[in-house]
Amino acid sequence: MATISQTAVVSGAASGIGAAVRKQFLEAGMRVIGVDLRASDVCADLSTASGRRAAVASVLALAGGPIDQLVCCAGLGPQVEPVARIAAVNYFGVVALLDGLFDALKAARHSSAIVLSSSSATLQSWAGSPLRDAYLAGDEALVGQILAAVPPEQAGYAAYASSKNAVAVAVRQRAVGWGAARVRLNAIAPGAVQTPLLEAGLNDPRYGAAIRSLVAPIGARARPEDVAALVGFVAGASAAFIHGSVLIVDGGIDAATRPFDF
């Protein structure tokens, strides 16, 4: 009997972690629909509402039915300006794909969605932040306004860490509804991964030293394939009970920086 191949959607598929996930899924025999600004099956700008709508519509048209896997890797680092764009891609672009593709994920038998958070999300206070309420309200304009008032040397980091915190919360908020629909949803929070995004941060005079100072106890930076390996496991049948989780893959940085907070 012929096996029906799974359909996977990977945003940020043109570079870094997304490219490694795409390659791994293709090698596993899946049909992969990549989404990125360029050089992908679906070329769309996830920083804008119209780009997100176009991305969802094109993905659904290309999939032509159920979607088995969704991995949201598209993201921008703290050095990008204007900083509102960081929140726009890292949070609003992610939830637009999650919610826009939910019905197609629900239509598959054992589907999974994974979003990329970051271990840096734990380094900034989320409780009590005005950004928290703005994200939770889905108020993209207000998130932009609050970020515009942050001193410029901290604004990129505030946008990055808060957006990565917000996507982890978005996963946890959806755990009940998505669980009832039998769609597993998880976040993966990497530490430093050797990609163009990390390289751009290291080369930025505002953030380079801080990023360099976060040395993983395991003694190295991750390769994109190291994160893709965890994505592959979480997406697979062996991870059938992993749902609503935020899985840190950072070589021990989080444990080293806040050993007593858990």
Ligand X SMILES: NC(=O)c1ccc[n+]([C@@H]2O[C@H](COP(=O)([O-])OP(=O)(O)OC[C@H]3O[C@@H](n4cnc5c(N)ncnc54)[C@H](O)[C@@H]3O)[C@@H](O)[C@H]2O)c1
SS (H, E, C) 96-158: HHHHHHHHHHHCCCCEEEEEECCHHHHHCCCCCCHHHHHHHCCCHHHHHHHHHCCCHHHHHHH
Among 45, 68, 140, 254, binds ligand X (CB under 6 A): 45
Among 24, 47, 79, 162, binds ligand X (CB under 6 A): 47
Among 6, 18, 230, 248, binds ligand X (CB under 6 A): 18
By CB under 6 A, which span of 39-47, 131-139, 174-182, 254-262 interacts with ligand X?
Answer: 39-47
What gap in Å lies between CA 207 and CA 209, rounded to an integer? 6
Q: CB-wise, 121 or 239, nearer to ligand X?
A: 121
What gap in Å lies between CA 193 and CA 221, rounded to an integer? 6
Query: Using the rule CB under 6 A, is 230 a contact of ligand X?
Result: no
Please, which residues bridge with residue 187 across strands?
115, 246
Among 30, 33, 89, 170, binds ligand X (CB under 6 A): 89
157 part of the active site: no
Q: Is the dihedral of CA 119, 262, 139, 182 positive or negative?
A: positive
What gap in Å lies between CA 113 and CA 234, rounded to an integer? 9
User: In angstroms, what is the minimal distance from the CB of 4 to ligand X?
Assistant: 29
Strands 111-116 and 246-249: unpaired
Q: CB-wise, 118 or 162, nearer to ligand X?
A: 118
Query: Using the rule CB under 6 A, is 232 a contact of ligand X?
Result: no
Among 74, 96, 166, 187, binds ligand X (CB under 6 A): 74
Q: Omega before 82 cis (within 30°)?
A: yes
Catalytic residues: 160
Residues forming contacts to ligand X in the complex (CB under 6 A) are 12, 14-18, 36-37, 45-47, 73-76, 89-90, 116, 118, 190, 192-193, 195-198
